Structures are given as structure tokens and as C-alpha cells.
Chain A
Amino acid sequence: MSRSIIKHMPIKPNQELAFLFDDLPLVGNESSDDYCGLLKAIVADAAPTDAIGWLFLKSVVDATWDIRREYQVKAGIIRLYQKDVVLDLLKTTQDDPTSIEAHEYRIFHATNEADRWAVDASVRKKVDSTLEARGYLPSEVLARACVKASDQIDAVDRRIASLEARRMSILREIERRKDKEFARRLEKSTSEVLDAQFSEAAE
């Protein structure tokens, strides 16, 4: 793994440091191409010159990668709770809640519809319009999901804050070592990556 990653780097670390890039700790559907792309971009911008520069660079890249991963975890949590909220709201959409049909819908069909809402765009559109007719806008569904998932989201947010703090502390450490220019380049390139990730998540 390390050989192929290092081969594509615009600036290469010494042979003795190559093992740092062995066994990239990727999970699930994370692609090594994406990680390499991030690494290459930051190496090109920051241009480390010695072993310590490479260690700092790798820490910053890893923290940046972990922050991206945590945003995805957070999105997954919100999606799960949104489905819960949709299910709760769907159960209230029957005109006559005491009718047999309403009971039947709540027991047998609402869960199925909420499940399909999560994966099928056409069902989502239909369910969203049903809920909107009852005064529940998608933004309200999202807000209710965030409130319901607040404990779990808080845990992810704390980890993101801690990773951000770690990234900044490494940059300060580089500055302290009188390599302000390296710290500035590293800060700029990783911030750009995170800003792009944040914009994607917001969309």
C-alpha cells in the first residue's frame, strides 16, 4: 500500500519513513484513492522537508480525514432519527384517527412507508407532501430529528471539536518550532478540504 501511495506523491518522504503510510486505516466504503488524493494535495501545498515535518503532516491529514468521517457518522445518525420522526408523524396523518383504517395504517403500513421514505426518492416526495399538508415541513422533521438524537450528536460533535483542537495544536506546535510558513500552508490546505466537506454536507 505504502509504495503505491508514495509513488504518486509530489514530494516523497525518505525510505525510512515509508512505513508511516502502510496499512491506511480506512473503514467501510472509504476509498484509498480519496485518502491519497487528500494526502497528495496537502503534501503538494505543505512540502515537508524533514522527518518531523512528515510526522506533523500525517497527523494533520489523519485528523482532517477523521473529521470527514465523523461528519458522515453524524449524517447517518440524523438520517436514522429523521426516519423515526417521519414514522411518528405519519401515524398522526389519518383524518379519523379512531377509524379501523387509521389503526391498520399505524400498525401495518406506517413503518413500511417510513422505511421506504428513507431509501426511495419518489416515496420521500409523496410522504413529504403528505406531512407538509399537515404543517410539518422537512425543516421541522430535521429539527425534531436533531432534538431526538441530541445525545448522540453531542458525542460526535465533541469528537469533531477534539479533532479540530488536535489539528490546531499540531499547527501551533509547528509554529513553535519556528516553521511558521509550513504551519500556514498546512492550515490553509486542510481548512480548504474541511470547508469543501462542510459545504457538501450542508447541501
Chain B
Amino acid sequence: MTSGRKIAANRENAKKSRGPKSARGKRWSARNSLRHGLAIPIGSLPEVRNKIEQLALSIANANGFSSITELARQAAEAELDLIRIRKHQAAVFSRYQNQPITKASIDELNKSLVRLERYQRRALSRRNGAL
């Protein structure tokens, strides 16, 4: 058991810390408060940028435009967001199914899905509004 004196000393030393110095440490601490990452705007993720452009152009074409419009881009971003949320949902369901079903696991599933549903509703409404 750590003594009270030691805990106080650790806290004092921690106050002097100026955060991680190495690139790896900074990358690591940047993810400290990251839970599922669904609050990150999807348009800022480089790995989906091409898909957003591709889909936005198809949507614009379907609406009779020859180039991407702002609304088409918003709809495409929201659609990609929906795909991202569905992947998280699938992960939540997988965790649930990969363990014996208990009352605690059902509660956990219900809580996690309520959190995700909020993101899903917003993305869907953004997409339908933009379409």
C-alpha cells in the first residue's frame, strides 16, 4: 500500500510535468480521452476524404449537377458517418455475443447502444436534410 506521504510527493512532482516529450508519447496522450471517436468530424479524417468526394459527386450528379455541391458533400459526409457508426454498433454487438449472456451484459449492451443511437439519429437527419 502506497503511503500518504508518497502519494502527496507524486502529486507534487506530477504538477511540475510539462507533458509527454516524445512524438510517441504525444500521440499516445492525444488519445487519452478518446472513447469511440464518433464526435470527430468525419471530413477531417484523411482516410475517407476520397470516398466523401466520390460519393458527393455521385449525389450531385443524381440531383442534376455536374460538380460537387455543398449539400452533396454534407450528405456524403453524413453517409460515411453512418457507416462508421454502424461499425461501432457491430463491435458493441460482437462484444455482447462473444460472452455468456447475463443480466449485466444485457445492461451494458443497452447502455452502449443508447449512446450510439444519438450519433446515428443526428447523422441520418443531417444526410436526409442535405439530400
A66 to B98, CA, bound (A): 18
Residues of B within 8 A of A20 (CB): 55, 79, 83
Residues of A within 8 A of B83 (CB): 20
Given contacts A51-B55, A51-B59, A52-B59, contact A26 B90 (CB under 8 A): yes
Q: Report yes or no: B110 in contact with A152, Cβ–Cβ below 8 A.
A: yes
Residues of B within 8 A of A (CB): 51, 54-55, 57-59, 61-63, 75, 79, 82-83, 86-87, 89-90, 93-94, 96-98, 101-103, 106-107, 109-110, 113-114, 117, 121, 124, 127-128, 131
Q: Which 9 A-B pairs have the closest CB atoms?
A: A25-B90, A28-B97, A51-B58, A50-B62, A27-B93, A155-B110, A51-B62, A27-B94, A25-B86
The tally of CB-CB contacts under 8 A between chains A and B is 78
Residues of A within 8 A of B97 (CB): 27-29
**Residues from 3 to 42 in A contacting B, C-beta threshold 8 Å:** 14, 16-17, 19-20, 23, 25-29
Q: Report yes or no: A27 in contact with B63, Cβ–Cβ below 8 A.
A: no
A contact patch SS: helix
Q: Report yes or no: B55 in contact with A52, Cβ–Cβ below 8 A.
A: no
B contact patch SS: helix
Partner of B63, one of A28, A52, A162, A166: A52
A69 to B62, CA, bound (A): 32
Query: Residue on A with the closest CB to B87?
Result: A25
Residues of A within 8 A of B (CB): 14, 16-17, 19-20, 23, 25-29, 50-53, 55, 59, 62, 66, 69, 73, 76-77, 80, 152, 155-156, 159, 162, 166, 169-170, 173, 177
Query: Residue on A with the closest CB to B97?
Result: A28
Q: Report yes or no: B51 in contact with A19, Cβ–Cβ below 8 A.
A: yes
Residues of B within 8 A of A73 (CB): 93, 96, 109
Q: Report yes or no: B117 in contact with A17, Cβ–Cβ below 8 A.
A: no
Residues of B within 8 A of A51 (CB): 55, 58-59, 61-62
Q: Report yes or no: A27 in contact with B51, Cβ–Cβ below 8 A.
A: no
A66 to B7, CA, bound (A): 49
Q: Report yes or no: B94 in contact with A28, Cβ–Cβ below 8 A.
A: yes
Could you jot down 11 A-B contacts, CB within 8 Å?
A: A25-B89, A27-B97, A28-B94, A28-B97, A51-B58, A51-B62, A55-B131, A77-B101, A80-B106, A152-B110, A162-B121
